[in-house]
Chains A and B, each alone.
Chain A
Amino acid sequence: MAVTASPERDIVATPMQRATREALYAGAIALGLFVLFIGLKTDQNISNELILVQRWGLLAIVVVLTMAGRFLYVAYGQPFLANQKIVDVATGLLPESMATRFFRLPYFLAAIITVAVLVFLAGSLDGLLGPGLAGYARFLRALAIIYALASVMFYFRTFIHAHFSALGITALALYPVIVVLVLALYGGSVAAGFQGSLKWVDNFGIQILIYVMLAWGLNIVVGLAGLLDLGYVAFYAVGAYAYALLGTQYGLSFWILLPAAGAMAAFWGVLLGFPVLRLRGDYLAIVTLAFGEIIRLVLINWREVTNGSAGISGIPKVTFFGLMTFNVSDPNYIAKVFDIATSSAYYKIFLYYLILGLCLLTAFVTIRLRRMPVGRAWEALREDEIACRSLGINTTTTKLTAFATGAMFGGFAGSFFAARQGFVSPESFIFLESAIILAIVVLGGMGSLVGIAVAAMVMIGGTEVLRELDFLKQVFGPDFTPELYRMLLFGMAMVIVMLWKPRGFVGSREPTAFLKESRAVSGSFTKEGHG
């Protein structure tokens, strides 16, 4: 515990004193920041005038929690993290890593037993514990399941690491099947399995995969070509409205409009690309942001065509390549064709596989393009534009193809989104969406497909999980809605992940092509004076 981060400052102060001091500072700052915003709340009274409601108790709780958090971090967290990096004198080894200490066999067995007991008791939990405690028990069960799965993954980490793509794709392909099977066993019937799978396949599966696809599309522009695009959601909107308008007005099928929407979005990508080609870095960022806003404002205000803020509803569903449909009234409705029970889950599962296919297409195209001259030109452009131009690469076409390709995938995702929702409105295409997609690309480690998929899963899945935490209502009272805190926590998570891993989960991808012989020698390999 004697190790501190900055020794020269702490000759007189022990870690405890230092922690106390830091905690007091943190408390004072928290008090200053929150006194007006948490201590007082502006509220409307019956005659619609603003009045102030006092909440000093809540303020005190927040300040004390901040102080406690800071104290614990400085007194125990920092020395612990510092100790992790110090080699033991006797054995010459680093201390056991956090992960090996966290995932131990006894813990794993305990988790399995907990899950088994709680699943066995599932039906009678409410009766045994009362509704309040049963909520906690279900939460505990979820945690235990996650822990058990994480331990399994941890033990097989080398295997998983070696076959990551194959395993990941298999897991994604089997996901709806597993969900339906588990829920069917749990609920006792196949129909219950399909019904229960709706939430898992739609809210988690499809939602996350849409963001994976968007982020992979944006990755071509930002991660490969190094052009900062803050208005990517515009292409998503173009794709969605292309399908919504042409589908509702002319009754064209999804399978015709999907390529059309992609082509249209690519066209807009080129249209945007032309004027901004001369711009660099942050100027490019602000013009793309402005472009995104222009598209959204036009969608809101061009009421004759887009129906304004009310949006377009009644967008036709995707058909199974024209052979089967998912409308109950149609003669070739899927349940009638196979003579099975009617359920809305079939459509969701079909959509899941559709978006999975689109995602894989995006990944495949990205990987192939990266090996082609144009992909290498993108990466070269990202590394050094001037060198690129000196070597005779046409930066204009290179940038335009990056914009168009990225936009095309945005358009695909957009038309899928319109088909899935059955309704589009400008509300879905705000700047926040662009920011979320960009955040996923950067947090995943720009250019790395796997990292981006992981980041999408963590960030989008994490916020979706918050919708499920109903038991918190028992802790904080019935007025408490965890959903309200979703975006607050999302923003804070963005900051924390970025501070913790500034290079992203996987780290930036190096250029695909290297001249192996003349790679620069890193400074750590050379002695002074021996260059």
Chain B
Amino acid sequence: MQYFVQQLINGLTLGSIYGLIAIGYTMVYGIIGMINFAHGDIFMIGAFAALIVFLILGALFYSLPVVLALLVMMIVAMLLTSMYNWTIEKVAYRPLRGSFRLAPLITAIGMSIALSNFVQVTQGPRNKPVPPMVSKVYNIEGISVSLKQIIIVLVTIVLLALFWYLVNKTSLGRAQRACEQDRKMAALLGIDVDRTISITFIMGAALAAVAGTLFLMYYGVVVFSDGFTPGVKAFTAAVLGGIGSLPGAVLGGLMIGFIESMWSAYFSIDYKDVAAFSILAIVLIFLPSGILGRPEVEKV
């Protein structure tokens, strides 16, 4: 039982990170109907930005409270990745908005390749390890919970609450939901569609940057190719939860996190990704539009 609860906590931590990335995928998909393949690399850019800020802080100050350092890392990473995603949307996706469906997908894949190789060229191809930032571990009745995990789950909960408020209670969120339903009608009613889409990309990138910072803190290492696997898994999570649905993205992220940690705990660690992908395929066979997704209506 203890072992099970331990794995549950590990899965929750992992799932939180996937959930934060998955929101970016699902929002962009909801509003312009494209798979933003570069999102995983945006997450990696966030982690790298956090790493560089961490090193700057380490060089400038001898000792800084960890919470403050993390906060600064997160904010700078959010600003930087937002700028990246904003630029990418403007350069690579906006000109193709009226084009056929595969065109923006190809530019997104191109951007993903370009971003990861850009980081490889500018920052070098090696792993970048950082000294542990938070190392405290609590022991509650034989279950060890590290402070890192608590921070990750808390930050995720706070951000999700904030995000839920933003989407459901503000005029910005209303504009987003309107664009999601019918972009042309929203434009007729005076909503600046381009601006709303830009903000959607910025919001997605900011959440990915937070995920990147947390990822760096949790694993203590980052490399230029780190965008792909978490990116694909987060996208899997978004599809699993029902793409276009925000609670679905979080739910899917948690599910993928649980599957991974349970599978590596009880079966084999080698096949944890195979398990996650297989379960995706199985779920989609029975629920073709995901767990919380709306079934597509076929219009003739």
Contact = CB atoms under 8 A, between A and B. Distances in A.
Interface of A: 29, 32-33, 36-38, 40-44, 49-52, 222, 228, 275-276, 278-283, 285-287, 289-291, 293-294, 297-298, 300-301, 386, 431-432, 435, 438-439, 442-443, 446, 484-485, 487-488, 490-495, 498-499, 502-503, 508
B253 to A, nearest CB: 15
Given A29-B83, A37-B122, A492 B110 contact: yes
B83 A32 contact: yes
22 contacts: A37-B49, A37-B122, A49-B131, A50-B128, A52-B52, A276-B285, A279-B288, A283-B243, A287-B281, A291-B281, A293-B232, A297-B271, A297-B273, A301-B271, A442-B102, A484-B120, A491-B111, A491-B115, A494-B106, A494-B110, A495-B110, A499-B96
Contacts of B278: 290, 294
Contact of A297 (B111, B113, B126, B274): B274
A43 B122 CA distance: 11
Please indicate which of the listed interface residues A33, A439, A485, A488 has the most CB atoms of chain B within 10 Å of its own CB.
A488
A485 B121 contact: yes
B103 A294 contact: no
A442 B101 CA distance: 11
Contact of B106 (A275, A492, A498): A498
Interface in B159-209: none
A386 B297 CA distance: 12
A490 to B, nearest CB: 6
B144 to A, nearest CB: 28
Given A50-B130, A228-B102, A286-B236, A279 B284 contact: yes
Nearest to A440: B106
B103 A502 contact: yes
A58 to B, nearest CB: 9
Interface of B: 29, 35, 48-49, 51-53, 55-56, 59, 80, 83-84, 87, 91-92, 95-96, 99-103, 105-107, 109-115, 117-124, 126, 128-131, 228, 232, 235-236, 239, 243, 268, 270-271, 273-274, 277-278, 280-281, 284-285, 288-289, 296, 298, 300
A438 B300 CA distance: 29
Contact of A38 (B102, B122, B274): B122
Task: Label chain A's interface by main secondary structure.
Answer: helix
A133 B111 CA distance: 36
A498 B103 contact: yes
A290 B234 CA distance: 12
Contacts of A293: 232, 273, 277
B114 A488 contact: yes
A443 B105 CA distance: 12
Contact of A294 (B80, B107, B228, B277): B277
Given A36-B52, A52-B55, A432-B113, A290 B106 contact: no
Given A488-B114, A491-B114, A52 B56 contact: yes
A69 to B, nearest CB: 13
A488 B121 contact: yes
A50 B129 contact: yes
Contacts of A41: 122-124
Given A38-B122, A283-B239, A33 B281 contact: no
Contacts of B96: 498-499, 502
Given A488-B121, A494-B106, A431 B128 contact: no
A228 B91 CA distance: 24
Contacts of B122: 37-38, 41
A490 B102 CA distance: 18
Given A32-B80, A498-B110, 12 more contacts: A33-B80, A41-B124, A44-B126, A281-B101, A283-B239, A286-B280, A293-B277, A431-B228, A435-B109, A484-B120, A502-B99, A502-B103
A503 B100 contact: yes
B239 to A, nearest CB: 5
A33 B83 contact: yes
B123 A286 contact: no
A52 B59 contact: yes
B183 to A, nearest CB: 18
The 6 closest A-B pairs by CB, nearest first: A494-B110, A491-B114, A491-B113, A290-B277, A488-B117, A301-B270
Contact of B117 (A29, A38, A283, A487): A487
A42 B55 contact: yes
Contacts of B53: 36
A51 B110 contact: no
Given A36-B80, A290-B280, A439 B117 contact: no
Contacts of A443: 106
A442 B103 contact: yes
Contacts of A279: 284, 288
B124 to A, nearest CB: 7
Nearest to A386: B300
A342 B102 CA distance: 49
B55 A283 contact: no
Nearest to B103: A502
Nearest to B98: A502
A61 to B, nearest CB: 13
A368 B218 CA distance: 56
A41 B278 CA distance: 39
Contact of A286 (B92, B235, B270): B235
A40 to B, nearest CB: 6
Contact of A495 (B55, B92, B123, B281): B92
Contacts of B105: 228
A294 B232 CA distance: 12
Nearest to A274: B285
A29 B80 CA distance: 11
B103 A287 contact: no
Contacts of B284: 276, 279, 283, 287
Given A33-B87, A286-B239, A42 B124 contact: yes
Contacts of A287: 280-281, 284
B109 A494 contact: yes
Contacts of B49: 36-37
B100 A495 contact: no
Contact of B92 (A33, A276, A291, A499): A499
A438 B83 contact: no
A59 to B, nearest CB: 10
A487 B289 contact: no
Nearest to B280: A290
Nearest to A499: B95
A44 B243 CA distance: 41
B106 A439 contact: yes
A293 B280 CA distance: 12
